Structure 1
């Protein structure tokens, strides 16, 4: 079986670099902004932990926080994709999960970062909104998935980013 490898990861890297430079340099201080932002999500603790893990978050505005959460989602999606890819090399039966996470890390994130960088929150939300469907495809492709915790974390991060974008942008 031929491995399914994303062909557009460089696009994501470019978006991340451009978006990072834009939002982490054009920010303002708001000491309670992370708390206020995370209270509007369904995963408060995950949101706070994710946003506070970025050194620039204390100086970020809401768009910057949305970007930080989106980058965390992308990074976790890529980590899960790599985990699946490594297992595919051994078992050759994880094609559904590999395709799902390729969709998340390439197609969905491309659309989402494009929406965030161009000031189009609806486009960003559309990209992030596909993530739960993709994690569910991966999860349901097993009787007992070895990726349950990864799928849940990626799904929860998507919910955090969607809430931030919906409520604040």
Structure 2
């Protein structure tokens, strides 16, 4: 009698488990988490595009977004570095572009530090690191302002905004961890 009861429970449990239910409920969790951020659509699309998000908790979602920020900072650093090569004769422009590349490298480092802080559950420090990452593109923009004859490239302005938006999303998620 005990074995048949066990088999009955096993059959009920195994047939009632729907893996899509878990994914759907985590999709709702992602949406709920993203409602606390400044850029809801960016948050949802970024998190849903990551294969590890269906099993993620709030800290994992923050880590996923930090990695999005790291990717963005690296791509922008690479973009700027490639632009330095095309500015052959303008030494001032090369200098400013080098400063900008360095700033995006520093943004990457700040994100890397925030990964360590999130992993150690030191959320205030992670938040501060992400704030720093958000400010580095500002320093790049300010490098151009020191030379009134230079125009801040539209592509850099778009990338700056993108990184700042990612940082705002990460900070919104970390806020949820702090409460």
Q: TM-score, normalised by structure 1?
A: 0.77
Match of 1:98 in 2: 101
State the partner residue of 1:141.
143
* Unmatched segments (≥5 aa) in structure 2: 1-22, 88-93, 145-150
CA contact (8 A) 2:107 2:134 kept: no
Q: Which runs of 5+ in 1 are unaligned?
A: 1-27
Q: Distance in 2 between matches of 1:97 and 1:86?
A: 12
1:61 aligns with 2:57: yes
Runs of 4 or more off by more than 4 Å in structure 1?
none
Residue-by-residue CA offset, 1:51-107 (whole Å, 9 max, x unaligned)? 01102212211111111111001111111011011112232230221121111112x
Superposition RMSD on alpha carbons, in Å? Answer: 1.9
Kept in 1: contact 2:47–2:65 (CA 8 A):
yes
How many residues are treated as equivalent by the alignment?
142
Larger C-alpha radius of gyration, 1 or 2?
2
Judge which range, 48-57 or 142-151, deviates more.
142-151
Aligned match for 1:70, one of 56, 66, 81:
66
